[in-house]
Amino acid sequence: MNGILVVNKPKNYTSRDIVNIVGKKLNTKKIGHTGTLDPLATGVLVLCIGNHLKIAELLTSTTKEYIAKIILGIETDTLDITGKILKEEYENNYSIETIKEVLNTFKGKIDQQVPAYSAIKVNGKKLYEYARNNIPIDLPTRTVEIYNIELIDTLRIVDKHLEFTIKCTVSKGTYIRSLIRDIGKKLNTIATMKELTRTKQGDFSLNNAYTLEDIENNNYKLVNMKDILDIPTITVNNELELKIKNGSILPRFFNEDKILILDSNNNPLSIYEIYSKDNTKCKPWKMF
């Protein structure tokens, strides 16, 4: 079984939980996800199955869209509401205009500090391992891009704290928890994430995502890489097909940097790229 399956991840499941559940249902161990969602988060989780695991890196590099609910006046160790509360404030004198102005300052490229509770490795150890053992560590920063961010809900007071909801489109590697922390800082307060839904990853959206119930009831459809990759395709004849199956370096027969090659039955054979040692030739990048 080969293909891409888009799951609407429910709350309180890890991304690995979903991989295990779907893998058991589809009776395959050749399955993996293309971008972790925390247990608190819901929404689009893209799974690659069979030989489509080889293109996972092409799917993880895409932009992502999120809807997040923010609470002002609460700080936690995990930067979301599931964590231990470290501090509380009760200043709620913020206008819609002020919040919109602050959100706009985040558009573009920003340097973002990675959360202490994350799987990023420092010196061979995941950050959350340092955090759980109370070991001090300098948190790394990374440059990410916020393509769009906007307020999509009214302001409201819940349990003495101001809450509002944002929608944002961001680059690979952006931590929404960290973004929310920094929004709080710009507002001269503290903030934490209450809810998070990933609504899009690249061309995949909640509109074409399946629930676990759908999958259990066999009400799903796999997506083929040729229908989703932003790479030109070409169908080859039997003679060239045999050479491609053998992973041959060939005279260059395309103008693009990479091309997806299909057999006569419209099945993916390989992704070929320009040969770096001789740009008149091409070589396999991924074999299927």
Q: Catalytic site residues?
A: 38
Beta strand residue intervals within 107-182, DSSP E: 108-113, 121-122, 125-126, 141-151, 156-158, 161-170
Helix (H, G, I), strand (E, B) or coil at 180: helix
Q: Where are the alpha helices (DSSP H) in the chain?
A: 15-26, 56-60, 96-104, 127-132, 176-186, 212-216, 238-245
CA 78 → CA 84, 90, 161, 170, distances in Å? 7, 20, 19, 20
d(CA 174, CA 178): 8
Residue type, 172: K
C-alpha count within 13 angstroms, C-beta hemisphere, residue 96 = 8
Nearest to 67 by CA among 199, 163, 177, 191: 199
In sequence order, what are the residues at sequence separation of 6 or more whose Cβ sits closer than 8 angstroms to the Cβ of residue 283? 247, 249, 250, 272, 273, 275
In the numeric block, which tokens belong to residue 74?
């609460």
CA 5 → CA 12, 56, 65, 99, 200, distances in Å? 20, 12, 18, 37, 14
d(CA 243, CA 272): 12
Exposed / middle / buried, residue 206 (Cβ in 10 Å: 0-12, 13-18, 19+): middle
